[in-house]
């Protein structure tokens, strides 16, 4: 992600030092977002995605350790690999492993895997021509809490924090921004499409991409996220 900044990608928080029990990052002074900054962030995000990755599931360049997804107190491994098909990547690297973990922890059950398999079978139809997209360089956990805004010489600027970076589908990040709401979402999308127009119907596919983080929330928190996951599957299969 940091390499993509030189290609027009968004600013990424600087890592100043790493140890076995600490991560030292730059201090970001928060500011309020503006429409102009949101539009610019959308354009920057498209440039970052366009920097690409070798495969769906690629780990960051030069990294061969475990990738993780989830909260600091309970991160779970996030599969990496070399998938050339977005359908296989989303099924084998994201949905099946997370739902299986939910079953192991008792939050989900085997009927949830059956629902998930039904969605997986429908993926080619649900994705349509968006399934032909090439791997993008994605943040991987881009909910609004991982998008900070700061003042940069009198202008508001976006800064990305806490990534689960990998090669994925560009709509993953956009769906994550939509999941819990983000300020000036329409301006972000307008800025994005000024650089890289999206396949028509992208907003209707957000629910599909949100299955993985919501399944993760079933694993981490249980509760109402379980019924939400089931309702999302049902809505996709209507």
Catalytic residue among 54, 112, 132, 141: 141
The tokens for 213 are 């983080």
The tokens for 149 are 């805004």
Helix (H) or strand (E) holding 24: strand 22-25
N residues, the chain = 238
CB atoms within 10 A of CB 146: 18
In sequence order, the 6+-apart residues with CB closer than 8 A to the CB of 207 are 175, 232, 235, 236
CA–CA gap between residue 80 and residue 58 (Å, rounded): 6
CA–CA gap between residue 163 and residue 76 (Å, rounded): 14
Contact 25, 14 (CB under 8 A): yes
Active site residue 141: yes
DSSP, residue by residue, 142-177: --GGGEEEEEETTEEEEEE-S---EEE-HHHHHHHH
The set of catalytic residues is 141
């Amino acid at each position: 992600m940091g390499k993509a900044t030189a290609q027009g990608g968004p600013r990424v928080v600087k890592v100043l030092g790493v140890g076995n029990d600490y991560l030292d990052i730059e201090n970001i002074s928060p500011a309020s977002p503006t429409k102009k900054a949101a539009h610019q962030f959308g354009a920057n995000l498209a440039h970052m995605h366009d920097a690409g990755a070798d495969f769906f599931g690629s780990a960051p360049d030069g990294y061969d350790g475990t990738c993780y997804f989830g909260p600091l107190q309970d991160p779970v491994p996030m599969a990496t690999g070399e998938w050339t098909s977005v359908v296989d990547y989303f099924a084998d690297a994201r949905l099946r492993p997370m739902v299986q973990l939910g079953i192991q922890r008792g939050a989900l059950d085997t009927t949830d895997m059956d629902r998930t398999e039904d969605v997986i079978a429908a993926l080619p139809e649900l994705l349509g021509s968006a399934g032909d997209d090439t791997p993008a360089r994605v943040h991987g956990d881009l909910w609004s809490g991982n998008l900070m805004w700061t003042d940069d010489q009198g202008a508001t600027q976006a800064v990305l924090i806490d990534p689960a970076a990998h090669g994925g589908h560009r709509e993953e990040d956009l769906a994550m921004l939509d999941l819990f709401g983000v300020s000036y979402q329409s301006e972000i999308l307008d800025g994005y499409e000024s650089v890289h127009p999206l396949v028509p119907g992208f907003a209707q596919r957000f629910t599909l991409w949100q299955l993985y983080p919501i399944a993760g929330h079933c694993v981490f928190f249980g509760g109402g996220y379980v019924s939400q996951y089931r309702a999302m599957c049902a809505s996709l299969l209507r």
